[in-house]
Structure 1
Amino acid sequence: MQENIQTLFDRMCDPKESEAYFFADKLGGVADEEAKDKLVQLVKGDAWEVAYLACRALSKTKFQEESLDVIFETIFDKKNKSVQGAFTQILEEFDLSHRFVDVFKVYLFGNYKASTLAKVYLDEVEFDITPRTIRKAEKHWNHYLHNPEDEGSVELKKSEVEPMLKEMKELFDQE
């Protein structure tokens, strides 16, 4: 079996392979703990195309939740600023219901594509929200307000975020 897994890794990572997505999906379906660790290392690597395929493979494993930690780290890694959108796009393959704050941070601090995709997730995913989640989101929101990367987007984000946070707070004020 290990030989089969190594063959899948080789095919997925081969830049000339036209069906790399197929091999990533197949690898995700058979990945064990050792394969997961190797995929995580690929996600952290310097070849973003291979990292993206590794994310895709991880989305097909039973290690989805722990894989999200490394994917969000990768999104915020400065070396990936120009490809944040690709890593944000692969998040659609994962269960994000417990990751409101992480997705919110991508919305606030990601590049245009990443921020736009994160906004879609914020609008469409049913998140598990707690008072602690709201406090963490407010902390990031305040940080954004005091350190915006793009002054022009502050008013737009303000018009979207403040009603969202207010609505979430009201859910808990009624209890």
Structure 2
Amino acid sequence: MEAELERLFEKMCDPKESDAYVFADKLGIKADEEAKNRLIELVKGEDWEVAYLSCRALSKTHWQEEALDAIFSVIFDRKNKERQGAFVQILEEFDLSQRFVDIFKIYLFGNFKASTLAKDYLDGVEFDITPRTIRKAEKHWKHYLHNPEDEDSVAIKKSEIEPMLLEMKELFS
């Protein structure tokens, strides 16, 4: 089995392989603990295409939370600002119900593509919300208001976020 996993890694990482995503899917289905750890290292690596394929492979495993931790760390790393959108796009393959605050942060601080995709997740995913989740979101919202990267988007985000936060608070009052 290990030889087969190694072959799948080689095929997935081969820049000339036109069906690399197929090998990523197969690798994810067959991954063991060692393969999972290697995939997570590739997610954090310098080659963003291999990192993306590794995310795809990890989405097929039962190590979703570990994979999401690695993916979010890559998304929030400033050096990946130009590539955020691709990593946010692959999140559609994961269960995001426990990740409201992470998605909210991407919406606030991500590049245009990442922010747009995060807004779609905020609108479409059924998140598990707690009072603590709301407090964390409010903290990031206040930080955004005091440090906006794009002054033009503050009014738009304000019109979307303030009603959302109010509605979530009303759930617990």
- Pairwise CA distance, 1:80: 1.0
Task: Indicate whether 1:156 and 2:165 are aligned.
Answer: no
Structure 2 residue aligned with 1:140: 140
Report the count of equivalent residues: 173
Within 5 Å, which residues of 2 pair with 1:1-175?
A: 1-173=1-173
| Distance of 2:135 and 2:77 partners within structure 1 | 24
| Structure 1 consecutive aligned stretches of length 4 or more whose deviation exceeds 4 Å | none
SS in 1 for 2:46: coil
**Cα deviation, residue 77, structure 1:** 1.1
Following TM superposition, by how much is the alpha carbon of 1:152 offset from its aligned partner in structure 2, in angstroms? 0.6
2:30 is matched by which residue type in structure 1?
V
SS of the residue corresponding to residue 139 of structure 1 reads helix
Deviations 1:43-69 (A, max 9, x none): 000000000000000000010111101
* 1:61-102 per-position Cα deviation (integer Å, ceiling 9, x unaligned): 010111101100101112211110000000000000000000
Letter in 2 for 1:137: A
Q: Distance in 1 between matches of 2:78 and 2:163?
A: 30
**TM norm structure 1:** 0.98
Between the aligned partners of 1:66 and 1:130, the Cα distance in structure 2 is: 22
Q: Could you tell me which amino acid in structure 2 is paired with residue 24 of structure 1?
A: A
Q: Secondary structure at the match of 2:49?
A: helix
CA distance in 2, matches of 1:6, 1:70: 22
What is the CA–CA distance in structure 1 between the aligned matches of 2:52 and 2:79, rounded to whole Å? 14
- The CA distance in 1 between the partners of 2:28 and 2:149, in whole Å, is 36
Give deviations 1:102-148, integer Å, cap 9, x for gaps.
Answer: 00000000000000000000000000000000000000000000001
Q: Structure 2 length as normaliser, TM-score?
A: 0.99
Give the gaps of 5 or more residues in structure 1: none
* SS, match of residue 23 in structure 2: helix
- Letter of the structure 2 residue corresponding to residue 36 of structure 1: K
Separation of aligned partners in 2, 1:48 and 1:114: 15
